[in-house]
Each structure stands twice: as structure tokens, then as C-alpha cells.
């Protein structure tokens, strides 16, 4: 079975400050890792994903994430946030030999304060 833990349900941060959103996962089999973003009243869109190779993954809108196998973590970072980054962020995993099904964390609401 797989599980995803997002340790912070809400993260307020001032504009132009750095941010880190934390994600830990648990799985008995190998998984792929994803971060999705949901802007208010919209569907989800992919920020970035880790499949293999370099453990530092760069995504859209200046976000990046680092896969740490020993700590089973996949934290999301941005060096300088903008007002437009205010959204809900979801970490998710899918089983490598599976059908693409995603198992999501409970989400982190990022609020950027002017």
C-alpha cells in the first residue's frame, strides 16, 4: 500500500520570500513522484514529476523538488514566491508497475502575503 504525508496543511509566506512544502511517502514497491497545483476553483495541473535520474527536478513557474530516497521525501521549493503562487499543492505517487493511478496527500494551502 502507498501513503503520502504532507506535513503542513497551511503555509503563509511573504511575497518574494522562499518557500518549502514538505512531502513524505511510504510504499512497499517502487513509485514515481509528482507535485500538482490547484488554483482556486480549477482542476489540477502538473508542476513537476520524478521518474528517474537526477534527484533534483525542475518544474513550471520556477518550482523545483528534490527526491531523497533514504528519507522517502520529495519536498517542493521555490526561491522567491509571487502572489500568483497562492494555491493548493498536492504531492502524489503512482506505482511504477501500475496503471497510472495516483495516491494523493491531503494538500498544502500556500498563501502568499503581499
Nearest distance from residue 5's CB to another protein, in Å?
A: 11
* Nearest-angstrom CA–CA distance, 45 and 43: 7
Q: What is the 3-state secondary structure (H, E, C) of 42-106?
A: CCEEEEEEECCCCCEEECHHHCEEEEECCCCEEEEEECCCCHHHCEEEEEEEEECCCCCCCEECC
Of 84-113, binders to another protein (CB under 8 A) are: 90, 92, 94-107
Nearer to another protein, 66 or 98 (CB): 98
Nearest distance from residue 17's CB to another protein, in Å?
A: 26
Nearer to another protein, 99 or 114 (CB): 99
Question: Given the rule CB under 8 A, which residues bind another protein?
Answer: 4, 9, 32, 36, 42-46, 49, 51, 90, 92, 94-107
Amino acid at each position: 500500500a502507498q501513503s503520502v504525508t504532507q506535513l503542513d496543511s497551511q503555509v503563509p509566506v511573504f511575497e518574494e520570500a522562499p518557500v518549502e512544502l514538505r512531502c513524505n511517502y511510504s510504499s512497499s514497491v517502487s513509485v514515481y513522484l509528482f507535485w500538482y497545483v490547484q488554483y482556486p476553483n480549477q482542476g489540477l495541473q502538473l508542476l513537476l514529476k520524478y521518474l528517474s535520474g537526477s534527484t533534483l527536478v525542475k518544474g513550471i513557474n520556477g518550482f523545483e523538488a528534490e527526491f531523497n530516497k533514504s528519507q522517502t521525501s520529495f519536498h517542493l521549493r521555490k526561491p522567491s514566491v509571487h502572489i500568483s503562487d497562492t494555491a493548493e499543492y498536492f504531492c502524489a505517487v503512482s506505482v511504477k508497475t501500475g496503471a497510472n493511478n495516483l495516491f494523493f496527500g491531503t494538500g498544502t494551502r500556500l498563501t502568499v502575503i503581499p
